[in-house]
Amino acid sequence: MLSGFSTDTFSHEGVSIFYRMRGGGPPLLLIHGHPQTHVIWHKVADQLSEHFTVVLADLRGCGDSSRPVSDEHHTPYSKRVMAKDLIKLMASLDFQEFQVLAHDRGARVAHRLAADHPDAVKRMMLLDIAPTLSMYEGTNETFARAYWHWFFLIRPKPLPELLIKADPDAYLIGIMAVRSEGMKHFSDEALAEYRRCIRIKGTAESICEDYRASATIDLAHDRTDRDAGKKLTMPVEILWGEFGAVGQCFDVLAEWQKVASDVQGEALPAGHYIPEEVPGALVERALRFFK
């Protein structure tokens, strides 16, 4: 997987971010979601690197990036701080402006990245999310049953951490299998990598702190933007899974139109894991949007 991509680590403020890079065109940052790593892009990265300089980063707390200790306000795992990791990474590569393709938790980081650094993000494609604030404020029984982990992971420590560490494989498969068509779309190599990374010391704590931040400090940041009437101004494309909970529970485009002024998008014939379920369709739309 991802042969031909260089590997390196960028460090700032005591945190190391692992990344891979390949290509020679305009910069395109790819950001993964939960419970995965940058490897989620392995079915699309080669084709995208023929047109762009593709940067695949592991978010803090994931993959081979650092897992910093959190605080009582979950600040180290706020999407604002996680976005700062990536803006600094791209600047270190001499990319002051770039485009973003992001999935799941990574798309939440991308949302904050675009909100806090609008001059850096030229275009942004987000996969299978509605805005975090919309999803929490619009929670109903159907959504809560499908996204049970949102409410499990934000429970006070150490209970969620202990349960994840007791059987990391059971947690990983329990999240992924029910949001796709079982496990058939995930290659053995990719799954082995996800299994390796969820066992790295500190991962369970980082997972929980990421979600606790989303339910607290991240919502405060989002509400501040809403109260100020602040909207994203760059072109945004939203793609979601036709068979996933996000499209079934929310009017995805309508929710994004509340926070962005230039939005388009559609459902794809997939569940949640679009890059691994329908990579061809994703590449087609990414090339159309980013080029």
| pLDDT (mean) for 53-59 | 98
Q: Residue 260: count other Cβ atoms within 10 Å of its Cβ.
A: 22
Would you state the pLDDT for residue 35?
97
CA distance 143 to 249: 6
Q: Is 30 helix (H, G, I), strand (E, B) or coil?
A: strand
Q: Phi and psi dihedrals of 55, rounded to 5?
A: -115, 120
Q: Which amino acid is at 287?
A: L
In this structure, are residues 227 and 259 in contact, taking their beta carbons and an 8 Å threshold?
A: no
Q: Is 28 helix (H, G, I), strand (E, B) or coil?
A: strand
Categorize the per-residue pLDDT at 1 as very low, low, confident or very high, splitting at 50, 70 and 90.
Answer: confident
- Hey, what are 224's tokens? 């501040």
pTM value? 0.97
Categorize the per-residue pLDDT at 181 as very low, low, confident or very high, splitting at 50, 70 and 90.
Answer: confident
Would you state the pLDDT for residue 217?
98
Would you state the pLDDT for residue 287?
98
CA distance 181 to 276: 11
Active site residues: 104, 272
Which strand ranges, in their side-by-side order, compose the sheet holding 6-12?
Answer: 6-12, 15-22, 53-57, 27-31, 98-103, 121-127, 236-241, 263-268
| pLDDT (mean) for 107-133 | 98
Share of the chain above pLDDT 90, in %: 98
Q: Phi and psi dihedrals of 257, rounded to 5?
A: -65, -20
In this structure, are residues 102 and 109 in contact, taking their beta carbons and an 8 Å threshold?
A: yes
Q: What is the pLDDT of residues 182-209, one digit of tens each?
A: 999 999 999 999 999 999 999 999 999 9
